Amino acid sequence: MGAHHLKTESRAAWVMVTPALLGLTLFLTLPFFLAVILSFTNLKLGSPLPVQFVGFDQFKRIFADPSFLRALANNAIFAVVVVPLQTVFALCLALVINRPLRGMTLFRTLFFMPVVFPFALIAVVWILIYAPGPNGMMNAALEVLSVGAWEARDFLHDPRSAFPAIMLMSIWQGVGFQMVIFLAGLQAIPSELYEAASVDGATKWRQFLHITLPQLRNTIIFVILVTTILAFRLFDQIQIMTHGGPNDATTTVIFEAVRSAFERQQVGRGAAMTTVFFLFVLFVTFLQRQIVKQEREIE
Partner 1 sequence: MNIYRNVIAYLLLGAVSLIYIAPILFMFVGSFKPDENVLLEAGSWKAFFPESVSLQNFFDVFSRVNFSLFMFNSLFITLSIVALGLVVNGLAGYAFARLRWRGRNSIFALIIALMIIPFEAIAVPLFYQMTYLGWRDTYIVQIVPFIVNAFSIYLFYTFFIGLPKELEEAARIDGAGSMRTFFQIIVPNSKPVFATVAILTFLTHWGSFLWPLMVTSGEDVRPLPVAIAQFQTLPPLQWGDIMAFGVMLVAPILVIFLLFQGWFIRGVAATGIKG
Partner 2 sequence: MGSVDLRHAEKIYNDNTKAVDDVSLSIPEGEFVVFVGPSGCGKSTLLRLIAGLEELSQGEILINGVRANKLAPQARNVAMVFQNYALYPHMTVRKNLAFPLRMSHLPKNEIDRKVARTASLLGLNELLERRPKQLSGGQRQRVAMGRAIVREPAVFLMDEPLSNLDAKLRTQIRGEIALLQRRLNVTTIYVTHDQAEAMTLGDRVVVMHAGKIQQAAPPQEIFENPANTFVAKFIGNPGMNCLPATLRRDGDGAYTVDISGQPLGLKQDILIRYPRLDELIDIPVLVGIRPEAFKLETDQSALYGLTGEVVSVEFLGHETLVYFKLPPPSREPLGLSSEKGDISTYQRPSDENIAARLYKRHSLRVGDPIILGVDTDKLYFFHANGIALDRQ
Judged by beta carbon distances under 5 to 8 A according to partner kind, the member of partner 2, partner 1, none in contact with residue 91 is: none
Give the contacts of 284 (CB within 8 A, at least 6 positions apart).
225, 228, 229
Using CB under 8 A, pick the residue from 40, 68, 78, 126 that binds partner 1: 126
Give the contacts of 216 (CB within 8 A, at least 6 positions apart).
91, 182, 185, 186, 189
Query: Cβ of residue 153: shortest distance to partner 1, in angstroms?
Result: 13
Closest by CA to 61, choosing from 262, 272, 250, 255, is: 272
Using CB under 8 A, pick the residue from 82, 162, 180, 231 that binds partner 1: 180
Strand partners, 41: 53
Does 12 bind partner 2 (CB under 8 A)? Our answer is no
Task: List b or e across 192-220, with b for residues whose CB sees 16 or more CB atoms inside 10 angstroms.
Answer: eebeebeeeebeeeebeeebbeeebeebb
Closest by CA to 224, choosing from 42, 88, 122, 50, is: 88
Q: Give CA angle at 131 (165, 110), nearest 5°.
A: 65
* Binding residue count for partner 1, defined by CB under 8 A: 101
Does 15 bind partner 2 (CB under 8 A)? Our answer is no
Judged by beta carbon distances under 5 to 8 A according to partner kind, the member of partner 2, partner 1, none in contact with residue 4 is: partner 2
179, 267 contact by CB (below 8 A): no
Query: Cβ of residue 4: shortest distance to partner 2, in angstroms?
Result: 4
Q: Which stretch binds partner 2 (CB under 8 A): 1-9, 111-119, 246-254, 273-281?
A: 1-9
Does 16 bind partner 2 (CB under 8 A)? Our answer is no
Nearer to partner 2, 2 or 103 (CB): 2
Q: Which stretch binds partner 2 (CB under 8 A): 5-13, 36-44, 73-81, 225-233?
A: 5-13
By CB under 8 A, what part of segment 220-259 binds partner 1?
A: 221-223, 225-226, 229, 233, 235-236, 239-240, 254, 257-258
By CB under 8 A, what part of segment 53-92 binds partner 1?
A: none
Burial of 81 (0-12, 13-18, 19+ CB in 10 A): middle
Query: Cβ of residue 11: shortest distance to partner 2, in angstroms?
Result: 12
Does 3 bind partner 2 (CB under 8 A)? Our answer is yes
Q: Which stretch binds partner 1 (CB under 8 A): 66-74, 76-84, 95-103, 158-166?
A: 95-103
Sequence-distant contacts of 23-32: CB under 8 A, at least 24 apart: none
Judged by beta carbon distances under 5 to 8 A according to partner kind, the member of partner 1, partner 2, none in contact with residue 3 is: partner 2
Query: Cβ of residue 18: shortest distance to partner 2, in angstroms?
Result: 22
Nearer to partner 2, 1 or 16 (CB): 1
Q: Where are the alpha helices (DSSP H) in the chain?
A: 4-24, 30-38, 57-64, 66-97, 104-116, 119-129, 137-145, 162-187, 191-199, 204-207, 213-233, 236-237, 253-258, 267-298
- x/- binding map, residues 84-123, to partner 2, per CB under 8 A? ----------------------------------------
The distance of Cα 121 from the centroid of its chain, to the nearest Å, equals: 18
